[in-house]
Amino acid sequence: MSGPVLPVLGAGGWGTALAAAAARAGQEVRLWARRPDFAARLAEVRENREYLPGVLLPPQVQVTSDLPGAVAGADFALLVVPSVGVPELLAGLPRQLGVVLCAKGLAPDGSRLSEYAAGLGFDRVAVLSGPNHAEEIGRGLPAATVVASRDPALAARVQAALMSPHLRVYTSRDVTGVELGGVLKNVMAVAAGMGDGLNLGDNAKASLLTRGLREMNRYLRSLGAEEETVYGLSGLGDLIATATSPHSRNRAAGEAIARGESPQQGGKVVEGLRTAGLLDAWATAHGHDLPIVRAVAHVTRGEWTPQQGVRHLMGREAKGETAADERA
């Protein structure tokens, strides 16, 4: 064991994958599941057949439904529950615990999860994000991710705990860029999925993702994020993975909507569906132009059809491609 026990709080697909990845990196892991019956079953069969079938938990992973016991003696914990469940989970944790937020969504009030945690009195907060599908991380396929924190010591400890020949972990101090890159790319992936469902073709998808990245950059830079972060693993890298992969819930949800089907996927949370409305409300309140976010928000609220969303984007006023062109 390379350090103290590592709690992974949340036994969905991503939590299970991170628990397996941490065990491969030499950690003793406590994987916490909210439901006692689910925890007991997972502890017995050692396979999360509901959320991540085919991935066996290494012997270093202990499964529990006892939250205080899961974090006892730990320096930090990975919080791997959907964004809507993060506030309740934080409320049950000791404030001296370092918290690593692994959800790619916003708090119920629209704030960033890291800001929400800080507001509750957590002094050591980090976010983990990157092009990381649970189906691949769980199987040990090579990948890279980023942990961002304004506490360099916490980021370094998380890096050391997860770094392995299977997972390369980078650190960053740009919490804003890393955290919100993961939020924005989900909405772009829903839009990409709608294009797939409408059979709009490769040119349309490439154009959407290019302009989507520009939209992400404009929004994130306005909040103080670094451009290098936008074009790094948690921005461009995660956008590519989420908008193109068959593993992506957000892309699949957009495709289902375009086909007139339900976007819900067996009870699994699709963060981009909820986030689109929150981001659109923020853009409207602050006078920001986020056209792809707006189109997705209108479609997911049932106010537009996917075809109307396409017409909105294609019918916008003519302009130059870059900011310099627009100013000329």
What is the count of structural domains for the chain? 2
- The rounded distance, in Å, linking the Cα atoms of 110 and 116 is 10
Residue ranges of the binding site for substrate: 104, 249-250
Domain range holding 95? 6-173
* pLDDT score of 1 more than 90: no
- What would the pLDDT profile of 299-318 be if each residue is shown by its tens digit? 999 999 999 999 999 999 99
* Any domain includes 240: yes
- What would the pLDDT profile of 217-270 be if each residue is shown by its tens digit? 999 999 999 999 999 999 999 999 999 999 999 999 999 999 999 998 777 889
* Any domain includes 1: no
- What would the pLDDT profile of 133-158 be if each residue is shown by its tens digit? 999 999 999 999 999 999 999 999 99
Mean pLDDT for the chain overall = 96
Q: What share of the chain is helix, strand, coil (3-state, %, to 5)?
A: 50, 15, 35
Report the pLDDT value the prediction gives residue 328, as an integer from 0 to 100: 56
- What would the pLDDT profile of 101-115 be if each residue is shown by its tens digit? 999 999 998 999 999
- What would the pLDDT profile of 257-286 be if each residue is shown by its tens digit? 999 999 987 778 899 999 999 999 999 999
CATH number for the domain spanning 83: value is 3.40.50.720
Residues 22 and 135 both lie in one domain: yes
Report the pLDDT value the prediction gives residue 13, as an integer from 0 to 100: 97
Residues 131 and 181 both lie in one domain: no
Q: Choose the final residue of a domain: 173, 207, 237.
A: 173
Residues 55 and 181 both lie in one domain: no
Torsion angle of the four alpha carbons 102, 108, 110, 111, in this order, in degrees rounded to the nearest 10: -50
Residues 306 and 249 both lie in one domain: yes
Report the pLDDT value the prediction gives residue 264, as an integer from 0 to 100: 84
Query: What DSSP string runs through 274-312?
Result: HHHHHHHHHHHHHT---HHHHHHHHHHTTSS-HHHHHHH
Residues 21 and 114 both lie in one domain: yes
In this prediction, residue 327 has a pLDDT band, given cuts at 50, 70 and 90, of: low
pLDDT (mean) for 54-75: 98
Residues 198 and 313 both lie in one domain: yes
* Any domain includes 143: yes
pTM: 0.95
Residues 155 and 226 both lie in one domain: no
pLDDT (mean) for 17-34: 98
* Any domain includes 328: no
Q: Choose the final residue of a domain: 142, 173, 204.
A: 173
Residue ranges of the binding site: 10-15, 34-35, 51, 104, 130, 134, 185, 238, 248-250, 268-269, 271
- The rounded distance, in Å, linking the Cα atoms of 236 and 141 is 20
pLDDT (mean) for 22-31: 98
CATH number for the domain spanning 268: value is 1.10.1040.10
Report the pLDDT value the prediction gives residue 92, as an integer from 0 to 100: 97
Residues 304 and 224 both lie in one domain: yes
Helix (H, G, I), strand (E, B) or coil at 270: coil
pLDDT (mean) for 66-79: 98
Report the pLDDT value the prediction gives residue 3, as an integer from 0 to 100: 57
- What would the pLDDT profile of 38-63 be if each residue is shown by its tens digit? 999 999 999 999 999 999 999 999 99
* Any domain includes 293: yes
Residues 191 and 294 both lie in one domain: yes
Hey, which residues are catalytic here?
Answer: 185
Residues 220 and 72 both lie in one domain: no
Q: Choose the final residue of a domain: 173, 189, 224.
A: 173
Residues 205 and 127 both lie in one domain: no
For residue 64, report the phi and psi dihedrals to the nearest 5 degrees.
Answer: -150, 160
Report the pLDDT value the prediction gives residue 113, as an integer from 0 to 100: 98
Q: Number of H helices and number of E strands within the chain?
A: 16, 8
Residues 169 and 294 both lie in one domain: no
